[in-house]
Homo-oligomer: A and B are copies of this chain.
Amino acid sequence: MNLSDIAALAQPGDRKVLLLVLDGLGGLPAALGGRTELETARTPNLDALVGLGGCGLHTPVASGITPGSGPGHLSLFGYDPLRYQIGRGVLSALGIGFDLRPGDIAVRGNLCTVDSNGVVIDRRAGRISTEEARPVCDLLSRIQVPGAEALVEQVKEHRFLLVLRPNASSTADVMDTDTGLTGVPPRPIAARSEAAMPAADAARDWVERAAHVLGGQTPANMVLLRGFGSLPEWPRFPEVFQMRSLAIAAYPMYLGVARLVGMEAVQVEDSLEALAEELERQADDYDFFFLHVKGTDKAGEDGDFDRKVSVIESVDAVVPRLVDAVGGVTLVTGDHSTPATMASHSWHPVPFLLSGGPARASAGASFGESECARGSLGHVKGWELLPLAAARAGRLAKYGA
């Protein structure tokens, strides 16, 4: 169902909604036939929630597709991530907490090395360290161009963010200068359409000055740009679902994606205590809360099965406090799987539970991948979860007579 169809049915409801995301929650058994991280963890509180409302599996993007954090979270917010795509430049800006404004053109930049003929010989400037790159980015940040404000933020190692704020309105339909190849010069800046000329002109001027400023530096004597993008004009979450909505997270990326769909967002320290305290402080003033826990994904990415188990158990311990603070419908899941055995994001469907509101119960169930695979809520797409939670909260009117 389209977000506009959902918006037409949304109504104020009597229950609030808590979306608790354990980043990278889904996992795999350490040995074939064994238990996953979630199945290994002792989770009496999450198990009780399953019993009250049911569980299932969700596919964040599509079968076999490993989601990044952006698409994974968009899906959980009810946005089909294949339909709502974020440009890499914008994602880069969100990831470092840059306050991107409507009309800004965000671009992902690489420091690179060119030879005396301007041919790219290293696309990452010898994987320059973050320390070494700092003064280089400082030089770039002083560049001024006519027709636009130019802002530069260092990201990590060879990566930086360029934001152009053109005086004249412009689309971001500008070609990458990064060809992805060495042995050829960077592609000259070119607008793909008339409407992108202001951004393209400013970018061309900026690249020329960058080449001049970095000339003689080593190893970073040039820049490559890719992923020109601007803030998308999407339906806004608080209006689609008619819920005053707050994101609480420690990391800029997640706050950024939440802001992108129109939620308010507050940054807290990276601890469960900080999440819980902030939730309790804000509980009366919003209808929807998105809480983000990073530790599960970190442990998964580190390949640390036991630590992922332990993070899940810590979250379980604080769950009753979170549920009580909101007192409505609770949706607990992940934005994707991050099996410790793979030490990376993966495509495996993600377990979810939903409790609160009118539901068929699942007595005796415990929260884990195997039980969720035959759970009462079935196997759904990630973006089908939020409408289901909204229905449980009494927030969606009947469709048709």
Contacts and interface: CB of A to CB of B under 8 A. Distances in A.
Interface of A: 1-2, 5, 9, 28-29, 32-34, 36, 51-52, 57, 61-71, 81-82, 85-86, 88, 91-92, 95, 339, 341-342, 345-349, 358-361, 363, 369-370, 373-376, 378-380, 384-392, 396-401
Contacts of A386: 64
A398 B66 contact: yes
B66 A397 contact: yes
23 contacts: A1-B61, A9-B65, A28-B360, A32-B361, A57-B378, A62-B384, A64-B384, A64-B386, A64-B388, A64-B389, A65-B399, A68-B400, A68-B401, A70-B401, A85-B400, A95-B401, A339-B358, A346-B391, A347-B396, A349-B378, A360-B370, A360-B373, A373-B374
Nearest to A359: B28
Contacts of A57: 378
Given A51-B33, A384-B63, A400 B28 contact: no
A267 to B, nearest CB: 20
Given A82-B1, A378-B379, A345 B63 contact: no
A30 B367 CA distance: 24
Contact of A360 (B29, B67, B86, B392): B29
- How many copies of this chain does one complex carry? 2
Given A88-B401, A363-B33, A391 B95 contact: no
Contacts of A63: 1, 380, 384-385, 387-388
A106 to B, nearest CB: 13
A71 B28 contact: no
B348 A387 contact: no
B67 A400 contact: yes
A350 to B, nearest CB: 12
A85 B33 CA distance: 41
A398 B360 CA distance: 35
B346 A400 contact: no
Nearest to A9: B65
A186 to B, nearest CB: 22
Given A64-B388, A378-B379, 5 more contacts: A1-B65, A32-B361, A65-B396, A95-B401, A360-B369
